[in-house]
């Protein structure tokens, strides 16, 4: 990849490069970045669109599922005539039409213990846009082992959350906060979700990723949980610490990739 910004790129990203916190150096960092987006649903769609539009150089997008009509109120990357197509593949096609200078790698697979480490090892940052706790724990395990920063989003009903984990030696992981796997996990299928809510959380995931990659703010040092209630438009912001009894990251032997 050519590291310098071309004239069309300078024009395309001119408005964000005016920000002193970003500038041309930050834009170059974005161009050289490799980001993994796991899940191209309600969270992954806006996250991928904003990362591509911002000029992140390479996006690896992972999803085994196909577009359904019931997705379209919140998964805004897809169109009616694309129902039945694989989300990752169709997502890459639609993203390329919007941002052709970005490199897209499509993975049409479920994330499992057999492939999660290879997926995470080749990128600079991971966005967890999945909708089930078992996959989240797999992603967390790989990010801890490989020390890759993780930005995890979730939304159900009118409530959403954003979790930013730098995955440095002394930072907490996902399992520090969520100690057990619930058997009665909520889902959009069972409980419903407000479309713009996942747009808010997915966009915030992209914003945090852009800040991290361009070295804006303190995301490299601080693990934080942000909770959002869309009914009263209130945010709750929590600083996080390591759980000394965490089986994944708290100074204990890390489990192998076959642990789940």
pLDDT tens-place string over residues 175-194: 999 876 554 455 555 678 99
Domain boundaries, the chain: 33-239
* Predicted confidence band of residue 83 (pLDDT cuts 50, 70, 90): very high
Name the more confident of 68 and 1: 68
Establish whether 143 is a catalytic residue: no
Q: pLDDT tens for residues 1-32?
A: 567 999 999 999 999 999 999 999 999 999 99
CATH number of 33-239: 3.40.50.720
Angstrom distances, CA of residue 128 to CA of 104, 111, 252: 17, 11, 24
Residue percentage of the chain with pLDDT more than 70:
91
59 and 102 Cβ atoms separated by less than 8 Å: yes
> Hey, what are 116's tokens?
């999660």
Q: What local confidence, expressed as pLDDT, does residue 256 receive?
A: 43
Q: Tell me the pLDDT of the chain averaged across its residues.
A: 92
Residue from 129, 143, 176, 188 carrying the catalytic annotation: 188
Residues 6+ apart with CB under 8 A from 190: none
Buried b (16+ CB within 10 A) or exposed e, 199-236: bbbbbbbbbbbbbbbbebeebeeebbbbebebeeeeee
> With a threshold of 0.75, does the pTM exceed it?
yes
């Amino acid at each position: 990849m050519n590291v310098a910004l071309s004239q069309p790129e300078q024009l395309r990203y001119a408005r964000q490069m005016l920000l002193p916190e970003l500038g041309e150096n930050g834009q170059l960092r974005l161009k050289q970045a490799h980001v993994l987006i796991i899940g191209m649903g309600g969270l992954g769609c806006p996250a991928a669109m904003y990362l591509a539009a911002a000029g992140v150089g390479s996006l690896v997008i992972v999803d085994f599922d196909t577009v359904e009509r019931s997705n379209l109120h919140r998964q805004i990357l897809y169109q009616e005539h694309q129902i039945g197509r694989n989300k990752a593949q169709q997502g890459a096609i639609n993203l390329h039409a919007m941002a052709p200078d970005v490199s897209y790698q499509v993975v049409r697979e479920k994330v499992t213990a057999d492939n999660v480490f290879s997926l995470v090892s080749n990128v600079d940052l991971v966005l967890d846009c999945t909708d089930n706790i078992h996959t989240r724990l797999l992603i967390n395990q790989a990010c801890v082992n490989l020390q890759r920063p993780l930005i995890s989003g979730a939304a159900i009903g009118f409530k959403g959350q954003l979790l930013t984990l730098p995955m440095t030696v002394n930072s907490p992981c996902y399992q520090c906060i969520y100690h057990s796997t619930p058997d009665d996990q909520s889902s959009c299928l069972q409980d419903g979700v407000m479309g713009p809510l996942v747009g808010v959380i997915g966009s915030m995931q992209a914003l945090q990723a852009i800040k991290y990659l361009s070295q804006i703010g303190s995301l490299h040092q601080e693990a934080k949980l942000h909770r959002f209630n869309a009914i009263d438009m209130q945010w709750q912001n929590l600083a996080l610490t390591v759980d000394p009894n965490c089986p994944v990251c708290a100074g204990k032997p890390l489990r192998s990739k076959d642990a789940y």
